[in-house]
Structure 1
Amino acid sequence: MSSRVRIAIVGGGISGLTAAYRLRHALGPDAHIDLVEASGRVGGVLHTTTVGERAVDVGAEAFIVRRPEALELVTELGLADRIVSPTPRRPAVWSGERLHPLPTPALMGIPAGPAVVDGLVDPDDLDRMTGEPERPLRWEAGGDIAVGQLVAERFGPSVVARSLDPMLGGVYSSLAGDIGVREALPALAARLDAGAPSLTAAVGDLITAGAGVSGPVFGALVGGYAVLLDALRTAAGVEPEILTPVTELAPSTEGWSLGFGAGRDPRSYDGVVLAVPAWRAGDLLHQCAPELSAPLRAVRRASSVVVSIALAPGTVLPEHSGVLVGTGEGLRAKAFTFSSQKWAHLAGPDLSGADRPVSVRASFGRFGAPVPDESTEPGVADRLRREALEDLDEVCRATGVAPVSSRVVDVYVQRWDDGLPVYAPGHLAAMSQVLAARPSRLALAGSSYAGVGVPACIGRAGRAAAELLDDLA
């Protein structure tokens, strides 16, 4: 292919960097690849910063290793020796002012049977679960409803609030009632499509099918996601242009033209990858492809906040990897991760032999309940710090552990305004139609199209690069 090919990547998150890397590998060192990012840094919702004199991730902290995309990319970049697995500690669920074991076996919070959630959910719902296999199941093959609606109808609302919501809320920043079955659990939808006689049977079949899979589910990187982002940038041979928002996208004789606002000349490219949220892509396509713009702009968005806390070395926490909070259970935080207990590399002494601070992260906000910003509520960051520590103290007291708020050495608050798309019922079908109708030499990547997790974003970015290469060929 001609060495004069010019490509633009709009968006410097994991999707944009992966697309740039794949395109560089295919097109060679002479191809001209621009990567432009509207914010002041690359990484998108992946962000590694220093809290308590240690590098911690204040966005996503882990990836699923049973999906191949992230694991293969990390290995390809020579970073396999940095992958670590969680410790054996398990998370707990906060309900009724105390901690309960995380229901297991379960499918993303949908319990395999009533015994799994005995003591956690209401007695009426235990009875409802017991009789569920005998009740007729109404499911339209190929259709989609909210996973919360399905589980509430079959197992009862307390199962949703105390098992399903806590699990899905951490992944999607949304409650189960806002997330589609087909979006969150495509394998479950497929079982129901195939005629599973009950939800109990479908969930049991899937749990049994996965029982033979060994090894950890999640992995993280020593040094945080910054290690992966830096390696991608180097391997892609790009120097990201930060603080460079794209204001206009239009077809040109060569392919596409990007505008950058008053005082800056437009640039023409042979191909463009829009690695930005769906609604931002919709804004850019509003004039040139209104039929694609409308469904992209209609995607709703969820916001959240992470409060990263460093506690004095030796601080004792409840003996779990974290706490998932049931819906309506009184705490302001929706979850805690006891990072130093979840990841062994964050515990113990540093290279000099000095004891490390104990790392905890608290999460706030979700779709429909965003955290106000400073313009709406001055001092909101201080309030979140206080509430995170008050809630953490309450969890500690409930488990017989001394309160920890007096042992804080550092706190960092990270906002993720409009950080994730909402995977509502029908979302994947709508995005599939958009991808099928994309204009030539314009590809779409990001968390809006095929899943919000890091492996899904890496996979979609690779497919976007391949689609663009096919168009150019």
Structure 2
Amino acid sequence: MEGGPDGFLAAEPDLPALARELGIADRLVDQLARGAAVWTGSRFEPLAEGSAAALLGIEVRGEDLGAGFRSFAGGMAVVVEALVARLGPAMRAAAGVSAISPSARGYRLTLPGGSAVDADGVILALPVFAAARLLAALGLSPARALGEVVYQPSVTVSLAYRSDQLGKPLEGTGFVAAAAAPGAVRACTYASAKYPGRAPAGHMLLRAFLAPSDGEPGALAHAELAPLLRITGAPLWTRAFHWPHGLPRYEAHHAARVAQVRERLARLAPIAIAGAGCDGAGVSACVRSGREAARLILRRMGGRAD
């Protein structure tokens, strides 16, 4: 069961490279099913490969789609778990930073409650509206423009059923609802058909993507999916994930704004920005962004950046 992205483009090498470094490359899995459909409001129609991403407003290069997607046995969370294990006690969980100020060493990070941590260098891997607030306090007025990036809210619901509860054979990886189709469900992934190990034998796991709506998301998703997939009975369980700030949407001049902020950061003690709000919302883009930020900080601190 995923609360965020369920995989990554197989044509992109960033996640496999990271997996090898973390010792989890043996947990990579390939996509089982291919293809998707569109729900017109009255029937399912097949979609050309790549059209589902376009309907959802996701930019993917055509040459990258041919290789399909990959994920990890046990879900994408295994990457985070491996990173946490690698960092060990150096990682401080649930320790927010309320302010950043210059110091003789580099920066002083003020934590809630008044304590502080001194750092030689800083990487702000944050939503850009949060990074903008911290950077504005350092006198970087261009950073305020990053706070204008709009994040689209995301609501997903995972629903578990016995296989015999579904009267419609599940073909492909799922479906996308046409813009004119009624209802809150805008897409649905057949999670247990898309990747191995997502549900026990004799069971199915679905993942619905909902437009912001009133009511309980799990009940709403089941009510709309039941007639489409000929589902009988109630789900065994449901789990909803609500991200008020989901995918960032960029304006045409976004890259220039990010470059301007980075040019100003280069004049300060080692500090960098990284993440989906800067360099692209895909998981692979986030890995690339984080690596480049780390290399930059290491170079500026006189260390090896390989």
| Equivalent in the alignment of 1:152 | none
The question of whether the paired residues in 2 share the 8 Å contact of 1:315 and 1:358 is answered with: no
User: How far 1:221 moved relative to its partner?
Assistant: 0.5
Question: How far did residue 447 of structure 1 move?
Answer: 0.7
Shift in Å at residue 348 of structure 1? 5.3
Code of the residue aligned with 1:432 in structure 2: it is A
Q: Which of the numbers 250, 253, 274 marks the counterpart of 2:101?
A: 250
Tell me the matched-pair count: 298
**In the alignment, does 2:244 pair up with 1:394?**
no
| Cross-structure match for 1:309 | 159
The whole-number CA distance in structure 2 between the counterparts of 1:410 and 1:66 is: 34
Whole-Å Cα distance in 2 between the matches of residues 298 and 57 of structure 1? 28
Contact map agreement 2:73 2:197 (CA 8 A) in 1? yes
For the residues of structure 2 that align with 1:331 and 1:441, how far apart are their CA atoms? 49
| Distance change in 2, residues 1:86/1:75 (3 Å) | same
Residue 255 of structure 1: CA displacement? 0.5
Q: Which runs of 5+ in 2 are unaligned?
A: none
In 2, Cα distance between equivalents of 1:266 and 1:292? 26
CA distance in 2, matches of 1:391, 1:302: 22
The higher radius of gyration belongs to 1
- 1:166 equivalent among 44, 55, 58: 55
Q: Could you tell me which runs of 5 or more consecutive residues in structure 1 were left unpaired when the two chains were aligned.
A: 1-55, 110-162, 172-183, 188-206, 350-354, 366-370, 397-401
**Partner Cα separation in structure 2 for residue 226 and residue 88 of structure 1:** 21
- Does the aligned pair in 2 maintain the 1:166–1:334 contact within 8 Å? no
1:466 pairs with one of 276, 295, 302? 295
State how far apart, in whole Å, the 2-side matches of 1:87 and 1:454 are: 20
1:346 and 1:266 mapped to 2: Cα distance? 42
Q: 2:198 corresponds to which residue? A: 346
Work out which structure has the larger RCO, using CA pairs closer than 8 Å and 6 or more positions apart in sequence: 1
Change in 2 beyond 3 A, CA 1:214/1:321? closer
Is 1:286 aligned with 2:113? no
Partner of residue 430, structure 1:
257
Root mean square deviation of aligned Cα:
2.3
**Corresponding position of 1:320:** 172
Runs of 4 or more above 6 Å deviation: none
> Does residue 360 of the first structure (1) align with residue 206 of the second (2)?
yes
- Residues 232-243 of structure 1 correspond to what in structure 2 (within 5 A)? 232-243=83-94
Displacement of 1:165 in angstroms is 4.9
After TM superposition, give the deviation of residue 236 of structure 1 in Å: 2.7
Using the alignment, how far apart are the partners of 1:81 and 1:286 within structure 2? Answer: 43
SS for the counterpart of 1:449 is helix
Structure 1 residue matching 2:165: 3-state secondary structure? coil
TM-score normalised to structure 2 length: 0.89
Q: Check 1:436–1:65 CA distance in 2 against 1; reply closer, same or farther (3 A cut).
A: farther
Percent identity between the two aligned chains: 27
User: 1:279–1:298: 8 Å Cα contact kept in structure 2?
Assistant: yes
User: 1:227 and 1:288, CA in 2 relative to 1: closer, same or farther beyond 3 A?
Assistant: same
Provide, for residues 325-359 of structure 1, a one-character-per-residue CA deviation record: whole Å limited to 9, x for no partner.
1112112111000111112332553xxxxx4x310
Contact 2:157 2:241 (8 Å CA) reproduced = yes
Of residues 418, 431, 437, the one that matches 2:245 is: 418
The structure whose residues are more often strand, as a share, is 2
Q: Which residue of 2 aligns with 1:269?
A: 119
Q: Which residue is equivalent to 1:456?
A: 285
- Taking the aligned partners of 1:164 and 1:320, their CA distance within structure 2 comes to 14
TM-score of the two chains, using structure 1 as the length reference: 0.59
